[in-house]
Structure 1
Amino acid sequence: MNYFSSNFKLGILGGGQLGKMLLFDTRKFDIQTYVLDPSEEAPCKIACNHFFQGDLMDFETVYNFGKQVDVLTFEIELVNLEALEKLENEGKKVYPSPKTLKLIQNKGIQKNFYLEHNIPTAPAKTFKNLKKLVVEIVESKLEMPFVWKCTEFGYDGNGVKIIRSLQDVENLPNVECIAEEMVPFKNELAVIVCRNPSGEIKTYPVVEMEFHPEANQVEYVICPARIDEKVAEKARAIALEVSKKFNHVGLLAVEMFQTQDDEILVNEVAPRPHNSGHYSIEASYTSQFENHLRAILDLPLGNTDSKVAGIMVNLSGAEGFSGDVIYENIETILGWNGVTPHIYGKKQTRPFRKMGHVTIVNEDINVARKIAEDVKNTIRVISK
């Protein structure tokens, strides 16, 4: 099939920053794009060929949108599965497949999948609602502390909380959730696996993630991870095994814990471009976004190696500020070598909302990490 400068139509469910960055590569290859998103101000709107506003969880909206395109992908997991299944059954190419998405969309189902397939992961128990979890806490059947996660609709640190006492559950929603055993870990790592329908598969280098202690949100992504090569090899091998079990097409970001004993435990996966791969736009031979595009179109995959050490800094809304966004001191960092800001196009900021990121590239990972901290301390995402 001729994808380039043709009548071929690629559909993207979700019009946020991940879609916007994917559109950089569709425009580079002159691939026609259709985007569906609930927001009239979606970041993708300025870069796609055709934009549609609509509910991603509504069957008719997603189904009718999908009928217009040749290949359908998504940049967010919270989409109507039944519509995707019907489209696939009618012969529409949907990548990743709804079969894969069904195993990932609900964190309880995802966790059970790991346990059933002997994928190393922290022990956990699923509860139909918060009330049932509270009963087990009161009856001392759950050992604290543990990690509470809602099984659906969690994102960017929302829907996750460490529970150290009964009081910690007081303001949590009464929804299906899991209680996961706390893992004493050295590092949080991630590996992005790329796979096309023909079976070609590649992995990006292992990255190290540093999280904001309050927001439970990634602050820094460091590539390559500052870990022993044997640990890195183990992480990539486990990521490949996870990819094989899910039988996905496109990207699969596998988030992992490195324990004190250098074991690797799988935390969660995302079947799409991921925050842990943003560094690849500047630091890799082929960015995660271009490789996602290559994969879902069954084209040869690009080189996933890094050209240079890269660190990504998330730009999140500062505490105490909501409203029309201002990127304070951004002019300062534009004068620094190897520093590239990416602004997502969200007009309104609020505390901890992801508004952009900055990539730092340098031959020396330690120098890059120091510059990344300077960037973090210089820019503030505030409001008027």
Structure 2
Amino acid sequence: MIIQAAIDFDFNIKTLDPDSDAPCKYLSHEFVNGSLNDYDTVMAFGQDCDILTIEIEAVSIEALEALQKQGKAVFPQPSVLRIIQDKRVQKQFYKDNNLPTADFILTENRADTAGHTAFLPAVHKLGKGGYDGKGVQVLRTEADLGKAFDQPGVLEKMIDFEKELAVIVARNENGETSTFPLVEMVFHPEANLVEYLFSPANVATGIEKKAQDIAIQTANALGIIGLLAVEMFLTRDGEILINEVAPRPHNSGHQTIRANDVSQFEQHLRAILNLPLGSTRAHSKAAMVNLLGEEGHNGEAVYEGMDDVLAIEGIHPFLYGKRFTKPFRKMGHITIVDQDFEKLKEKVIFVKEKLKVVAKN
């Protein structure tokens, strides 16, 4: 989707991906198959690039730092990625910069974690390597401590939250910032990733401004160039706490392609090229439903119910070009727009019930 936005600007795009049949292969001007974590591969890839950017944090930071020293523009900056790539460092960054977040304890291994029973209930997260709900364990009681990770991690106090929210903020080299409307996310109970969201979030007056201000403060504290997705908890007493951040276009902003003047993908490009940031004005209320592979289905993907959902006004599918499905794999998303919030919710339920990603018989 970054590439699709770049095409409108007539940029020449070169991509690196570990999948030899990655969807980006068929949109890029040049495609390189290789590991994102291999120093030599990333170094060789970047030699003829003017600007390098990422869409996943799991990449060789050492190579990006070396390319930056060669004079290449690397956004987000490797220094920012170092903070965000390790959740332990990320949480300490919030504390050191007076950014609101849940109480936490840094843990070294399972035995160390077992010594903090008084801190439960809590969420245990791997310091490095977690992604889309992987590397996260909920520890409610002492009986759950056997599930704790036997690697460096962070134990976060469990928050009694009312809603999970997110703000996407863009920042360019001039220090100009711009935020998209606050969104409300609903997570899949098993896959622990966003199942659907609503934009704007249905919150009390003043909460959106407070959340957007925190997002801007976080982006400025990091000094990030590019896009930053800030995931937050809204507590039952009206507090906003930062959960995690992602230094890239994010699931919580996919609906902006149809719902806003500029999409998050175009805004990211504007930011890393130090262009004026675009208007984030929303044309209507919007929702986004993730299309996840159905349980029990592995194989070539088939989208059942597509005719039914396309017959409804305001429904826009975005399929990711992944040939094979498996349980809970992100295969695409559906953006839904409507001026009426109740109708929007009805359409979300309809899409969730009708559209299924299954394996070809």
The answer to whether the 8 A contact 2:113-2:148 is kept is no
Rounded Cα–Cα distance in structure 1 between residues aligned with 2:248 and 2:324: 25
**Partner amino acid, structure 2, of 1:306:** A
Aligned partner of 1:223 in structure 2 is 199
Matching residue's letter, 1:348: F
Q: Which residue of 2 aligns with 1:268?
A: 244
Contact 1:130 1:177 in 2 (8 A): no
- The answer on 1:31 being equivalent to 2:11 is yes
Structure 1 residue 63, shift from structure 2 partner = 1.0
* Offset at residue 214 of structure 1 (A): 1.9
**How do residues 74-89 of structure 1 correspond to structure 2 at under 5 angstroms?**
74-89=54-69
Question: Distance in 1 between the 2:22 and 2:111 partners?
Answer: 37
- The one of 124, 127, 139 aligned to 2:107: 127
Question: Within 5 Å, which residues of 2 pair with 1:131-142?
Answer: 131-134=111-114, 136-137=115-116, 140=117, 142=118
Change in Cα spacing, 1:275 to 1:58, as seen in structure 2 (3 Å) is: same
Q: Secondary structure at the match of 2:100?
A: coil
CA distance in 1, matches of 2:19, 2:152: 27
Q: In the alignment, what sits opposite 1:70?
A: 50
Would the aligned equivalents of 1:309 and 1:362 in 2 still touch at CA under 8 Å? Answer: yes
Question: How far, CA to CA, are the matches of 2:79 and 2:91 in structure 1?
Answer: 16
Letter in 1 for 2:206: K
RMSD: 1.2
SS in structure 2 at match of 1:261: coil
What is residue 18 of structure 1 aligned with on the other side? none
Write the letter of the residue equivalent to 1:372.
V
Partner of 1:329: 305
Q: What residue number does 1:381 align with?
A: 357
1:35 shift after superposition: 0.2
Q: Which runs of 5+ in 1 are unaligned?
A: 1-20
2:272 is the counterpart of 1:296: yes
Alpha carbons 2:228, 2:247 under 8 Å: kept: yes
Deviates more, 1:108-117 or 1:21-30: 21-30
Deviation at 1:169, TM superposition (A): 4.5
Which position in structure 2 is the counterpart of 1:372? 348
Partner of residue 185, structure 2: 209
1:175 is the counterpart of 2:151:
yes
Distance in 2 separating the partners of 1:347 and 1:272: 24
What one-letter code is carried by the residue in structure 1 that aligns with 2:75? Y
Instruction: Give, in angstroms, the shift of residue 302 of structure 1.
Output: 0.7
Contact 2:102-2:241 at 8 Å conserved across structures: yes
CA contact (8 A) 1:206 1:224 kept: yes
- For residues 34-54 of structure 1, what are the alpha-carbon distances to aligned partners after superposition, in whole Å with 9 as ceiling and x for unaligned? 000111121211101000011
Contact 1:250 1:271 in 2 (8 A): yes
In structure 1, what is the equivalent of residue 86 of structure 2? 106
State the Cα distance separating 1:157 from its structure 2 match.
1.4
Cα distance, 1:379 vs structure 2: 0.8
User: Which AA in structure 2 matches 1:252?
Assistant: L
Deviation digits for residues 337-381 of structure 1 (CA, Å, limit 9, x no counterpart): 000111111112111111110000011122112101110111111
Deviation, structure 1 residue 288: 0.3
Please give the alpha-carbon distance, in whole angstroms, between the structure 2 residues aligned to 1:68 and 1:324: 36
Deviation at 1:109, TM superposition (A): 0.4
Amino acid paired to 2:17: D
Contact 1:97–1:248, Cα closer than 8 Å, also in 2: yes
User: How far apart, CA to CA, are the structure 1 residues paired with 2:98 and 2:111?
Assistant: 30
Q: Which runs of 4+ in 1 moved over 6 A?
A: none
1:245-273 deviation line (CA, Å, top 9, x unaligned) = 00101100000000111111000000000
